[in-house]
Amino acid sequence: MKPYKIFLFLLSIFILLFVISMAFPKDGIQIRSNLFLRFPDIRNVLTPEESKYVDISEILKYHQAEITENIEDMVLDTSTNISDTILVADSLKAEIPKDTIVEKEIETKITPKVQPGEILQKIEYQDDSKRVLYPFFNHLKNLKQSGELIRILHYGDSQIEGDRISSYIRNELQKQFGGCGIGMFAPVIIKGTNISMNLELNGTWERYTVQSIKNGNITHKRLGALMSFGRFVPLNSLENKMYFGEINLYKSNITYLRTRKFKKCKVFYGYNKRPFIAELKYKENTLDAELIATSNQLNTLTWDIDGNLDEITISFKGEDSPDIYAIALDDQYGIAVDNIPLRGSSGTDFTNTDLAFLRSMYQQINAKLIIMQFGVNLVPHIVDDYSYYERQFYKQLKTLKGLRPDISIIVIGVSDMSQNKYGRYVSYPNIVKIREAQKNAAFKTGCAFWDMYKAMGGENSMPSWVNNDPPLARTDYTHFTWKGSVVISKMFFEALMHDYNEYLNNENTDH
């Protein structure tokens, strides 16, 4: 082929591509709800837009200690190679030699590290009525006198896996109001994830969730407060043999000190058709063993623990397993904060469970505050109107509020999340709509709302968190790193304590 013909052929190809580029819809052609067919825009190639991301320096100046220094009360073994993904926390690259808790008198009033006028993102309320959190604040104020243990249930999606966000809130509240331990956790956790203790299972354990109900794998809807249960004997097993199940718990190399000083171990179980044996062991020594009778209700097995134990083993043996709803490692009094990640959830499955059973478990565990943090699973599914989600989320919040009259709820809004568009990471266009749906549902049901999207810096703030030194978010442009989770949790905690102090001031003024 002659050179000029090759030139004309290539020129025609370029002209065709140019025409397609100019004519192709800028936002692409939607094939499915989250799948688009796109073609490069020649205008972006010739004159690429400059990436303009949010300046988060004002946010970070209040939290520099959490980013560059050790985290107070954190233990780290630097000999362990720990990588930060959704599943495990990253290494803080510093060792805190002290391995004891300094006992402090419980403080009733909290002084945030920033002044009241400098709270970066306050909690929002319908008509600015902060009284929706007063029942919870009243329990905080009276904890020292009441000597009770109250629970905060932190529900969320993969953004809180690995005890991120929950662990900081837990540690700060326990420092001020008393308490220790990691709270409640499922006996069979989500594969690949971790809690603030190392957990190993031996035996034929199975995990059952909302998806098990939807798939018809279980015939009842009793999931309990953690929205799951575990068994060491498969459901509907026809084999008449002895089964064995073991849960080994031992200290983590990266955790807050208070998580390791638990003084009480509880097992929430029920609905076993045959007796079984439960044992508590320390290394090879049996500390206690009990023969548990058949049951058709929710029960609690309780052991007092030496706060200096750095590992325990809970073992079960029997021809049938109870449904085991939770293990709890707590103090005798104070605050327990439970990290409850529901991977893939948008927070709309609570009404698909047995609500009478959920109410009974909430009563047994003395739940006083629920934190609902969802949204990232909804973001990739772009639609014009999220009123359907608002209705679904409203139904969940109204139902949870109705389970106990003194439960307070705080909704944490969806975080910023970026997509790669023409080589630039930009916020998904629907985040504000999802945030507004969550806020509307919260206000309609008498719940408080904390705007994480705005706290991060709003639109196009996620790339600034990813590109910070050190990184505060992962390169999936969705999830926080461990240090990023500490920064965002600190912002939430200080907003909560700001309103608690206002409550105390109002109480003193009224009297």
Q: Give the tens place of pLDDT for each residue, 136-151.
A: 999 999 998 999 999 9
Q: Note the pLDDT of residue 94.
A: 32
Residue with more model confidence, 194 or 206: 206
* Contact in structure between 373 and 159 (CB atoms under 8 Å): yes
pLDDT in tens, 287-340: 999 999 999 999 999 999 988 888 999 999 999 999 999 999 999 999 999 999
Which pair of tokens denotes residue 212?
């098990």
Mean pLDDT for the stretch of residues 177-199? 93
Instruction: Tell me how far apart the alpha carbons of residues 201 and 34 are, in angstroms, rounded to a whole number.
Output: 37
Residue with more model confidence, 439 or 68: 439
pLDDT in tens, 171-184: 999 999 999 999 99
Residue 143, classed as helix, strand or coil, is: helix
Residue with more model confidence, 102 or 142: 142
Q: Note the pLDDT of residue 111.
A: 46
Where helices occur in 142-240 by DSSP H, the ranges are: 143-146, 166-177, 210-214
Helix (H) or strand (E) holding 285: strand 285-292
Does domain 116-179+332-511 match CATH 3.40.50.720?
Answer: no
Least confident of 161-175, 185-199, 262-276: 185-199
Where helices occur in 129-194 by DSSP H, the ranges are: 134-141, 143-146, 166-177
Which pair of tokens denotes residue 460?
């196009």
Q: Note the pLDDT of residue 132.
A: 95
Least confident of 179-188, 198-207, 230-239, 374-383: 230-239
Average per-residue pLDDT for the chain = 85
Does domain 184-330 match CATH 2.60.120?
Answer: yes
Q: Note the pLDDT of residue 86.
A: 36
- Give CA separation, 208 vs 296, 338, 352, in Å: 18, 19, 14
pLDDT in tens, 339-363: 999 999 999 999 999 999 999 999 9
Q: Note the pLDDT of residue 99.
A: 34
DSSP string, 26-54: TT-EEEETTEEE----HHHHHSPPPP---
Distance between the two ends of the chain, CA-based, in angstroms? 97
Q: What's the length of the chain?
A: 511
Angle, helix 134-141 to helix 482-510, in steps of 10 degrees:
90
Residue 269 has pLDDT above 80, yes or no: yes
CB atoms within 10 A of CB 409: 23
Residue with more model confidence, 161 or 76: 161
pLDDT in tens, 58-89: 788 776 666 555 455 555 433 333 333 333 33
- Confidence class of residue 2 from pLDDT cuts 50, 70 and 90? confident
Residue with more model confidence, 326 or 15: 326
Q: Which 3-state string (H, E, C) describes 296-352?
A: CCEEEEEEECCCCCCEEEEEEEECCCCEEEEEEEECCCEEEEEEEECCCCCCCCHHH
Instruction: Tell me how far apart the alpha carbons of residues 506 and 511 are, in angstroms, rounded to a whole number.
Output: 9
Which pair of tokens denotes residue 14?
């370029």
Instruction: Tell me how far apart the alpha carbons of residues 266 and 264 are, in angstroms, rounded to a whole number.
Output: 7
Q: Note the pLDDT of residue 116.
A: 43
- Confidence class of residue 41 from pLDDT cuts 50, 70 and 90? low
Amino acid identity of residue 70, one-letter, is N
Q: Note the pLDDT of residue 234.
A: 87
Q: Note the pLDDT of residue 26.
A: 63
Nearest to 454 by CA among 426, 488, 480, 478: 488
Q: Note the pLDDT of residue 92.
A: 35
Residue spans per domain, the chain: 3-46, 116-179+332-511, 184-330
